[in-house]
């Protein structure tokens, strides 16, 4: 019997959301520690500072697994998805490497979406890098979104799945990222309508536990503090 504690910023989907989606698909219980805490930010900051007995991780999300009285610490969002998915049989073992390759590619896309509003430094305010953000966002809309989404279109099978012919967390994260891009870049994404039909048709309706999670209070809406932020000046139609 394992217990799972997830530690992530309590008010954004961010890099914690792929892990939450994976737990939802696995139908595995976990504690969302910073959301349960009175001061979730303080909890995260103390963990970041290496003040927890489990060790000193680099950046959230963190996962502490307790098993046979032993507590181990894990981090890096895409890796946590792989770990939870593998432990709970969400992929055939033969599909695991493909799932990891795809999951890390989605993590890269999320990083690039983040960097559209923070191209110069995560430690600087958006207002202090707005001009650079406009240049970066233009390239992201015109070159990177088509490169990434065209790639994922090529990877979806005829039933709309990425791995092993059945729903997996990689599908859920791709679905989430598509929603995030629609939130942040509604004009750009509208320009692409019809270009990637399999991606357009993706749904999570075929996975009831995932649907239940998305309809619950566990799902944090996209907002202007996370990865996918709607800044009108960073959006625009794409030819």
* Residues in touch with its own copies (CB under 8 A): 50, 56-59, 72-76, 78-79, 82-83, 97-98, 100-101, 104-105, 108, 111, 115, 119-121, 123-124, 129, 132, 135-136, 139-140, 143, 148, 151, 154-155
Distance separating alpha carbons of residues 147 and 190, to the nearest angstrom = 16
CA nearest neighbour of 167 among 175, 20, 61, 219: 175
The phi, psi pair for 31, rounded to 5°, reads -100, 135
Using the minimum distance from each CB to its own copies, give the nearer residue, 37 or 73: 73
Cβ at position 186, least distance to its own copies in Å: 22
Q: Is 66 exposed, middle or buried (CB count within 10 Å of its CB: 0-12, 13-18, 19+)?
A: middle
Cβ at position 100, least distance to its own copies in Å: 5
Using the minimum distance from each CB to its own copies, give the nearer residue, 108 or 225: 108
Using the minimum distance from each CB to its own copies, give the nearer residue, 76 or 214: 76
Cβ at position 38, least distance to its own copies in Å: 27
Cβ at position 178, least distance to its own copies in Å: 16
Cβ at position 163, least distance to its own copies in Å: 13
Cβ at position 79, least distance to its own copies in Å: 5
Using the minimum distance from each CB to its own copies, give the nearer residue, 16 or 119: 119
Distance separating alpha carbons of residues 1 and 160, to the nearest angstrom = 34
Using the minimum distance from each CB to its own copies, give the nearer residue, 79 or 88: 79
Using the minimum distance from each CB to its own copies, give the nearer residue, 112 or 206: 112
């Amino acid at each position: 019997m394992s217990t799972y504690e997830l530690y992530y910023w309590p008010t954004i989907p961010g890099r914690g959301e792929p892990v939450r989606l994976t737990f939802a698909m696995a139908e595995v219980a976990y504690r969302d520690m910073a959301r349960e805490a009175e001061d979730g930010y303080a909890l995260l900051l103390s963990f970041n500072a290496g003040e927890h007995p489990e060790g000193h991780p680099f950046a959230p999300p963190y996962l502490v697994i307790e098993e046979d009285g032993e507590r181990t610490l894990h981090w890096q969002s895409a890796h946590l998805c792989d770990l939870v998915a593998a432990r709970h049989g969400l992929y055939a073992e033969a599909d695991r490497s493909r799932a990891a390759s795809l999951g890390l590619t989605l993590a890269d896309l999320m990083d690039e979406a983040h960097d559209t509003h923070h191209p110069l430094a995560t430690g600087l305010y958006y207002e202090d890098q707005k001009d650079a953000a406009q240049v970066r966002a233009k390239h992201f809309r015109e070159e990177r979104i088509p490169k990434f989404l065209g790639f994922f279109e090529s990877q979806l099978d005829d039933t709309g799945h990425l791995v092993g012919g059945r729903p997996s967390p990689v599908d859920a994260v791709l679905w989430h990222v598509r929603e995030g891009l629609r939130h942040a870049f509604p004009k750009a994404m509208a320009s692409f309508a019809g270009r990637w039909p399999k991606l357009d048709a993706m749904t999570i309706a075929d996975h009831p536990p995932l649907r239940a999670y998305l309809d619950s209070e566990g799902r944090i809406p996209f907002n202007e503090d996370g990865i996918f932020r709607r800044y009108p000046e960073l959006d625009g139609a794409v030819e």
